[in-house]
Every structure is written in structure tokens, then in C-alpha cells.
Structure 1
Amino acid sequence: MDEKDREILRVLESDSRVGAEDLGTMLSLSPSEVQARIGTLEKAGVLRKYTAIIDWKKAGEDGVVALVELKVSPEREFGYDRIADRIARFPEVKSLRLVTGTYDFQVIVTGRTMQEIAEFVSGQIASLENIKETVTHIVMKTYKEHGCELQRSEGLERLPYSF
């Protein structure tokens, strides 16, 4: 992978709708060369998915998002990988990361209600072998998602602070 490939990835990460012609113009490449590079990146598994960022609240579907922290006992010979594979298969799990700190995994989970999230975490996640502890944080409001601002307070200024 060269710098042109990385630049294609940066542009697509910012806006996956940019076409080969526009990418070619930006990077001094022909549209066919851009398409060939993108095809190679897709086949190599570097470029994994094209997606849209949706403000579900504005779309009339106000679900619940939770950040779940998991403390686990790693498996001998497999470490965290097999545990992560099991957790990642649940459709409620939108993101799963191995992290440093007090907890081992950070999981982003979605559901229709807080009760649905609670039942999923207690019934499906916490009951897995090797899960020692869970902490669930319910997202109250999302201001920015994947680099896209969803909520911006227009004209809101910080009030002066004085004694």
C-alpha cells in the first residue's frame, strides 16, 4: 500500500460517497486507476465496509445505546480472542474493543429500550464463561458519531463566571 492508497482511504473514511472520478481529480489518478486501487483494498480486507451515519432520533427511531465495560479472565492459549469472537457475534453488539485500564473490553450495544439492554447484558454477556464483571453506561445523548456532528447548539455562548 502506498501513499495514494492511504489518501484514498482517508477521503473515503470522511465521505464514502466520493466517486472514482472525483477521487482521481483530487489525487491526480485516472478513474480506472482509482477503481482498481479500491478493488485491491477491498480484496485485501483493508476497506471493509461503506456506511451511512444516521441520526436515528430525527428518523423517528429513538433506541438506546450503551457502553458496556467487561472484565474477563483470558483463556489459556487463546487469550482474549475467542471470548471476543463470541461477543462479536451478537447482533446487539455494534463495536467491541480490547482496551487498557480497569476493564478488558469496551462494547457498544444497541437496543430499543433500557430494559432490553439490561436483559441482553445480564442474560447473554454476563452469563458467558470468563466474564468476571460488567459495568453498563447508558448513552444519554450523542453529539458526534464517527467524526460527524449530530447536535450543535447554535448561538449558545458560555456564560461569564464571576464572584
Structure 2
Amino acid sequence: MKELSELSLNILKLLKEDARRSPDLLATMLGVEESAVQTAINEMEADHVIVKYATVVNWSKVDEEKVTALIEVQITPERERGFEGIAERIYLFPQVKSVYLMSGAYDLLVEVEGKNLREVANFVSDKLSPIQSVLSTKTHFILKKYKQDGIIFEEREDDQRLVISP
């Protein structure tokens, strides 16, 4: 694990808030030269600290049907590789968006997207459950997202009630 400079950490925080910020804007915000910012970004990209620049989409505002599920998976670790080999087999499926090693009652948390409930159910029964080391799965369908990556999706209404004091 590489220790990052204070400049690099500050750049990461600002890019996490808004990945569209240019090196010129970041330099102005941080009070440093643009070349220093660009060098730090290039190094972090080369070291895979910065892996991707992404857009957070509120899919409920778009007319495209999509189902997201979180699947708790209990597995038997493989000899020599532990959880790595199974996690790799799972994350290579195109339906899988994220895989996390967890502590607690289950081993892996798998985020899956599909066009509908049946597609996700078929993935679990036809692809995930038959993997030899998978002991059990528990699927949770996401009904509504309120907040993702620090972004609140729904506009909050101000409380319009009158304040009553004793």
C-alpha cells in the first residue's frame, strides 16, 4: 500500500466530490501549481489509486427498467487462495457490479443488476449457486435508493408545520 502525499489526498477528496473538476480548477482550489496537480493525478492513475471517473445516475428518473439486488453469499474458502478465487469467479460475470469481502454472518456481498426480477433470480440459481464453494445465498432486492456515494436522490421538502411552543 502506497502512502499518499497531502496534496494527493486533497485531490482525491475534491475529485470524489466532482470528477469533472479540471487540474487547473483543482490547482486553484488547493493553491498549488497546475503541473503539480497533473503529476499527482498521473501517478495515482498509474498506481491504480484512481481507477475510474464515474457518473452517479438516479435511474428512477430515467425510463429504463432495471433491478438491483444485494446478495449475501456464504462460501467455503479455497485452499491456498482463500476467498480470492471464488470472488474472482463471481466478479467476472457481467451482471455483477460489486463484490465485497465481509465480516459477520456471510462472506461476500455481491451487487447484481438485471433487467427484471426474473433475470436476477436466474443469475442466482443458474450461475451463482452452482459454484462449488458457495454454501448459501440470500438475495435482497433494492426497492428504492435514497442516497448513493454521498448524493441524496430525492429533494427534501421543508417542514411547513407551524412551530408551537408551550
Paired position in structure 2 for 1:60:
63
- How far apart are 1:30 and its partner, in Å? 1.4
Q: Distance in 2 between matches of 1:156 and 1:62?
A: 32
TM-score (norm 2): 0.91
One-letter amino acid of the structure 1 residue matched with residue 46 of structure 2: K
Give the match's secondary structure for 1:57. Answer: helix
Q: Distance in 2 between matches of 1:153 and 1:112?
A: 29
- How far apart are 1:61 and its partner, in Å? 1.1
Alignment of 1:76-155 (within 5 A): 76-155=79-158
C-alpha contact 2:65 2:116 (8 A) present in aligned 1: no
C-alpha contact 1:95 1:107 (8 A) present in aligned 2: yes
- How far apart are 1:156 and its partner, in Å? 5.6
Superposed CA RMSD: 1.4
Q: Distance in 2 between matches of 1:154 and 1:127?
A: 47
Indicate yes or no: 2:45 matched with 1:45.
no
C-alpha contact 1:143 1:152 (8 A) present in aligned 2: no
Q: Distance in 2 between matches of 1:130 and 1:156?
A: 51
Paired position in structure 2 for 1:15:
18
Q: For the structure 1 residues 61 and 157, does the alpha-carbon distance in structure 2 shift closer, same or farther, using more than 3 Å as the test? A: farther
Q: For structure 2, which runs of at least 5 residues remain unmatched after alignment?
A: 162-166
- How far apart are 1:118 and its partner, in Å? 0.2
Give the match's secondary structure for 1:62. Answer: coil
Q: Distance in 1 between matches of 2:87 and 2:139?
A: 17
Q: Distance in 2 between matches of 1:65 and 1:157?
A: 34
Q: Distance in 1 between matches of 2:159 and 2:135?
A: 44
Paired position in structure 1 for 2:164:
none
Percentage of matched positions with identical amino acids: 38
TM-score (norm 1): 0.93
